[in-house]
Structure 1
Amino acid sequence: MSTSATDGRVRKGDRTRQAIVHRAADIASMEGLEGLSIGRLASDLEISKSGVFAHFGSKEELQLAAIGAAVEVYVDHVVTPAMEGPAGLVRLWRLTERWIAYSRDRVFPGGCFFFNTAAEFDARPGRVRDALAGAWSGWRALLIAEAEAAKSRGEAHRDLDTAQLVFEIIAFLEAANGISVLHDDEDAYTRAGTAIRARLLSAATDPEALRAPMTE
């Protein structure tokens, strides 16, 4: 077999795998990771069950791959667009604004992928739970790093409890996602944004630096 033919098969296989894991992430955001099945994915993507199974040796491997795909989508939609400019309160604000847009615009059809799937596995030890916990911990650590940078730059009060601030921010975001999905209530995002802005203003040494509206 020629090298070009082999390369073509590899590229096709990669595209198929990507299609499977992204569809799996969409389904999991609505029906949970336990809702994934080889048959459902094969039907949705119009490929054979053996074609799906060839890429994953087990349901757990499929679940882990879906989490990995969801992390990539999350980074693309939430983290990367917010990283312009110096670290600190403005970047922290941008991250929360991007999270609200990610959930509100239904990047995943079921709202935040991690909010929905974490509830399935939070009390179930194993690799899937560890992957979900790792993704959540990475998000929390990023927010805390921005809050700590704000303290170092003199943008936030020196006695600010950054872990408490981030706990409250995440609580507001997750409440907005849950209320919006369950009650079809778009106002939840506005309320979350208002609450987060007020909390950041109270933490800021110069509130005027945060009063300008953020740009999308």
Structure 2
Amino acid sequence: MSIKKASLIIILILLIDQISKFYIKTNFVLGEEIKVFNWFSILFVENEGMAWGAKIPGEYGKLLLTLFRLGAIVGIAYWLWDSVRNNGARVLIIAISFIFAGAFGNIIDSVFYGMIFTDSYGRVAEFMPEAGGYAGIFHGKVVDMLYFPLYDGPLPSWIPFWGGDNFTFFEPVFNVADTAISTGVGLLLFFNKKAFPDKKEEEIKERAAGN
């Protein structure tokens, strides 16, 4: 698979991710929810930290997280380039492309959104405000909006400790970039043998093709 095709996958995912985030940021108030189905809602939340809302504590926690993401994206980009250069498996290149696009999509939020948007507390955010955004460079919040509460109700009473308590599955709110990362990782796990073929088997195939 060529780097051109991988780039097309990345650009397509980035466009869908950023268009959806821009729309939510400029049309929704923070916390606003629109129910599409009983099991799916558009819910606008912002994530200051990592997956599941985890944060690096301290004054410079957000900056360190963004810088770490920037370093990681460079590593993923090299992994993609090296896999293409070495004629890696198609599923491997597709998976890395998904992971790269997802990581890059969330980095855009972290690096720039604080500068180009006002906050969304009790109002719809303004794009490119004259007075400046809600935070400086590297301190933006990631926009999330996809919410799938597939089950929301009490747990069976026979379950120890938590029986009878209300339980929501799936509770986290995420975005297109997160979905791309999860899809890429899932492809690597599910098609592990195809993505990372055994070298001995490859050598045997090459010799057989040569004969």
Max Rg structure: 2
TM-score, with length taken from structure 1: 0.25
Give the structure with the higher percent helix. Answer: 1
TM-score under structure 2 normalisation? 0.25
